[in-house]
Structure 1
Amino acid sequence: MTKLKLTGKALRNIGFPEGPAISIAITAMEQRFKHHTEAAALDILKQVLTDPMAYLADDALRKIAGRLMEAKEEEDIPLKEIPVPYEIFGAGFIETGALQQMNSAVRLPVAVAGALMPDAHQGYGLPIGGVLATNNAVIPYGVGVDIGCRMCLSILDLPVDQLDKKASRFIDALMKHTKFGAGEEWDEPAEAAVLEHHLFRELPLLRRLLDKAAGQLGTSGGGNHFVEWGLVQITGATDCHLAPGTYLGLLSHSGSRGLGAQIATYYTRLARELCPLPREAAHLAWLEMDSEAGQEYWQAMNLAGDYASASHHEIHRRMIKATGAQLLARVENHHNFAWKEVHNGQELIVHRKGATPAAKGVCGVIPGSMTAPGYIVRGRGDAASLHSAAHGAGRAMSRFTATQSITRYELNKQLREHGVTLIGGGPDEAPMAYKNINEVMAAQQGLVDVVGRFQPKIVRMADDGSKED
């Protein structure tokens, strides 16, 4: 069998940079892949060249990947030496990883302002709880994979005592009319105006995703996504026009499902090709707003946000119909999105990755955990926060740590003590895995006014081990 022989010319033809990377690649491939054809070997090298970071742990390819990343860093767009200053809310309980990610974000050449919310923890690109304002640039990973992930609270006309007296009715509605987890779809897709959007016909990526989007409309992801019945206590003036008092409520948390994930993956890869950054900031690659790619992503992102909203409305429609309720009022908001906003007289792109819009007078929902209360808030328009607030309690433990340190018995004990019925879910989403929501709220008193509370009573989450959030 003929042994593999590669040439520098062949590697340069597929895009390898001049320098040591070529000789390192030839040596490694001829030693470790000596029985491959030249075409097969070059296909492997193309994959490594496209995403060298993915091969750093591969015994056969890591030397090639490492040298390619070193060569890439030599060509990277440099970060600012002096970072943009930013305000940290609740600094005492924000992990180091989140701070490091935010410190990289505010050194981007396009960064203008930033803020870190008290529920912040490490994510990808921007930390969860990170807010970043940029000039003429949108960062796909500054929005996140679950584009338009949001809260939706419906306040209903049913007597509040029915949650106890007729609990089986509400449990049955959750079981029959919600679906959770990666890949879950309805057998008979719902109809919605968002599915008729012209972008589903005009953009090839979205055209391929239309059928999946139709099937997943009205479903929820895994991880920390939920649909739950509970008690709503209105204590102050909202934009709901409801008198103070206690109401029955339905609260949901999820986003744009596979549609948003595919949009995020596609345009993040494109951004990284067009905007090479140092390793610590690579996921923060941006698209210029006046470029074709930037405009495509912006339109697709907004469509994914509209889809997420329509998906929540479909969930609520099914649940309200199943229980014979009437809708009195609704409060809802995105928390993985980017907005065009004017701050200090300048139009900026404000990314809120796990952060709630909190412009003056704007209402939203900040959830706690499956036993802790969520809060209905009205924004105060704080300039230092870029008109933002936390999007929840925020994780105190990673999912892995939670599953290793919290038992199902401990979770069930917490549920019993708080009178909460849980369908699905697991220790990775246990209340103990989250920060204390009351401490988070105390750290942002200057950002929002609390005008109501939501206390969960019957909660449904994914039970298939999905990790979408």
Structure 2
Amino acid sequence: METAESTHPLVIFGEHDDRTVAQMQRCMDYGSAVQGVLCADGHLGYAQPVGGVIAYEGHVSISGVGFDIGCGNLAARTDLPYAAIKDRREPIMRDIARKISFGLGRVNKERVEHPLFDSPLWADAGIGDLKQIARNQLGTVGSGNHYIDLFEDEAGQVWIGVHFGSRGLGHQTASRFMKAAGGEDGMEVAPALVEDGSELGERYVAGMRIAGEYAYAGREWVVEQVRQILGAEVTESVHNHHNYAWRERHGGRDFWVVRKGATPAFPGQKGFVGGSMGDDAVIIEGVDGPRSAESLYSTVHGAGRLFSRSQARKTFQRSAMDAWLSERDILLHGADLDESPMAYRRLGDVLAFHGDTIRILHRLRPVLVMMAGRNERDPYKD
């Protein structure tokens, strides 16, 4: 861990390229930023690095929350031993693919009703016209690095893991407020901020909250469908956003803490952190200590990219990706080279940089990975 030169304290975990560090330092120079953290899985993002965490005294960063508001992970431990499904993975995969939609603009084949559609937050945010697309897409996964996985833990039990966010609702909500706040497109631009308590700020926070509730509801619905397909019962769940702004108290002061691709890890708080499609995931728990406080009680949300999507497609071969998975006995549905395990850091390496701020409760070995296919594109990925 190191502290970089910036207008305000910036704590950096791990090793990063100069552009990513410069982008994070630039974010710290705007608005009421007080403290920042760059997690070990960080990389260049739109206006703010993925893996970047910033505490603001009087602002919320639309750029920091990002376009996939409420993107996050849900892991559910089941009462099912892996031995009971090992030879049934192919039909299970087909059943999941029939039930759950992946890819660009896909709508759910089954209409999902949910109390969140009656929330006053839609009117508070002024986004009631987005309810229809939200209804249509609730419970869909999208593409990019979003997935449904089955895992085996160290005790031989099956876990269901999902990763996705608020789909078209989040993207359109973020786009509207980004424009209203005068935000610019691109990587090396100033972050779009709204002032806490302002009319625009209040409307954005309402929109962020409903998109976050929507993302939670979607992940819960998908896990429930997979649970039914498996014929299992859930014995434990770990659920967290990693693209969101939280109202938190640090050092006796109240802040908006904006995490863009970072997992909250307060003492005793559990989180689900995925690796690449070919690496173990983990269930972590935050621990107390000086470094934990300096990290704003935040940790990695994944392994972190080494290659951009376009670079990965040009660099890696499908045969090498398939061999990686075959050696580890991982069945794959969909995906493309942009999600190849070789395009990512190794999760164990990035977790090591955060070692005294978290502890690992479970290691989860992927046994079935489902993602959108090569020809399925989605603008609503994180």
Q: State whether TM-score is above 0.5.
A: yes
Q: Provide the C-alpha distance between the structure 2 equivalents of 1:280 and 1:304, rounded to a whole number of angstroms.
A: 24
Tell me the distance in 1 between the aligned counterparts of 2:31 and 2:161: 39
- The answer on 1:453 being equivalent to 2:363 is yes
Cα displacement (A) at 1:203 = 4.3
**2: distance between equivalents of 1:109 and 1:302?**
22
SS at match of 1:317: helix
The corresponding residue for 1:319 is 226
Q: Unmatched 5+ residue regions in structure 2?
A: none
**Aligned pair 1:247/2:169, yes or no?**
no
Please give the alpha-carbon distance, in whole angstroms, between the structure 1 residues aligned to 2:30 and 2:12.
18
- Alignment partner, residue 36 of structure 1: none
SS in 2 for 1:462: strand
CA distance in 2, matches of 1:199, 1:391: 28
Q: Which of the numbers 45, 58, 65 marks the counterpart of 1:136?
A: 58
Q: 1:436 deviation in Å?
A: 1.2
- Superimposed CA distance per residue, residues 111-150 of structure 1 (whole angstroms, 9 cap, x where no aligned partner): 1000100000000121000000011100111101100000
Q: Structure 1's 141 and 109: CA in aligned 2 closer, same or farther, altered over 3 A?
A: closer
**Residue identity in the other structure for 2:149:** E
2:175 alignment partner, SS class = helix
Q: Which amino acid aligns with 2:165?
A: G
Q: Is 2:58 aligned against 1:146? A: no
Match among 339, 348, 371 for residue 278 of structure 2: 371
Alignment of 1:333 onto 2:245: no
Q: What amino acid maps onto 2:337 in structure 1?
A: P
Q: Is the 8 A contact 1:369 1:393 kept in 2?
A: yes
Q: Separation in 2 of the partners of 1:106 and 1:163?
A: 49
Task: State the distance in 2 between where 1:288 and 1:416 align.
Answer: 51
* Cα drift, residue 163 of structure 1: 2.8
Match of 2:48? 126
1:216 aligns with 2:137: yes
Aligned residues of 2:47 and 2:187 also touching (Cα < 8 A): no
Residue in 2 that maps onto 1:466: 378
Amino acid at match of 1:146: D
Change (3 A) 1:340 1:203: closer
* Structure 2 residue 337 is the aligned partner of structure 1 residue 430: no
Whether the 8 Å CA contact 1:124–1:283 is kept in 2: the answer is: no
Deviation string for 1:51-94 (max 9, x for gaps)?
Answer: xxxxxxxxxxxxxxxxxxxxxxxxxxxxxx96112111013xx1
Mapped to 2, the partners of 1:208 and 1:254 lie a distance apart of 22
* Length-normalised TM-score, structure 1: 0.76
Give the aligned partner of residue 97 of structure 1: 19
Give, in whole Å, the separation in 1 of the partners of 2:358 and 2:111: 38
Aligned to 1:343: 250
Cα separation, 1, equivalents of 2:10 and 2:278: 33
Match for residue 318 of structure 2? 408
The Cα of 1:323 is off from its aligned counterpart by 2.1
Distance in 2 between residues matched to 1:355 and 1:376, nearest whole Å: 14
Give, in whole Å, the separation in 2 of the partners of 1:397 and 1:376. 25
**1:280 to partner: Cα distance:** 8.0
Q: Look at both structures and tell me which one has the larger radius of gyration over its CA atoms.
A: 1
Residue 111 of structure 1: which of 30, 33, 36 is its match? 33
Aligned to 2:276, the other structure's residue is in SS state coil
Q: Are the equivalent residues in 2 in contact too, given 1:177–1:315 (CA < 8 A)?
A: no
Q: Deviations over 1:331-362 (max 9, x none)?
A: 11110001011111110000000000011110
Give the TM-score of the pair, scaled to structure 2: 0.93
Residue identity in the other structure for 1:188: E
Question: Displacement, 1:290?
Answer: 1.1
The answer to whether residue 220 in structure 2 is matched with residue 298 in structure 1 is no
- The answer to whether the 8 A contact 1:149-1:336 is kept is yes
Cα-Cα RMSD: 1.7
Change (3 A) 1:290 1:179: same
- Partner of residue 419, structure 1: 329
User: Deviation per CA, 1:306-331, whole angstroms, max 9, x where unpaired?
Assistant: 11000001101111112221111111
CA positional deviation for 1:252? 0.3
Find 1:439's aligned residue among 324, 341, 349.
Answer: 349
- Please tell me whether the aligned partners of residues 272 and 282 of structure 1 are also in contact (alpha carbons under 8 angstroms): no
Unaligned runs of 5+ in 1: 1-80, 234-244
Change (3 A) 1:465 1:203: closer
Higher relative contact order (CA 8 A, sep 6+): 2
Q: Structure 1's 280 and 186: CA in aligned 2 closer, same or farther, altered over 3 A?
A: closer
Alpha-carbon distance in 2 for matches of 1:82, 1:328: 45
Percent sequence identity is 34
For the 8 Å contact 1:375–1:452, the answer to whether it is kept is: yes
Could you tell me which amino acid in structure 1 is paired with residue 339 of structure 2? E
Residue 94 (structure 2) pairs with residue 185 (structure 1) = no
Partner Cα distance (1:203, 1:352) in 2: 21
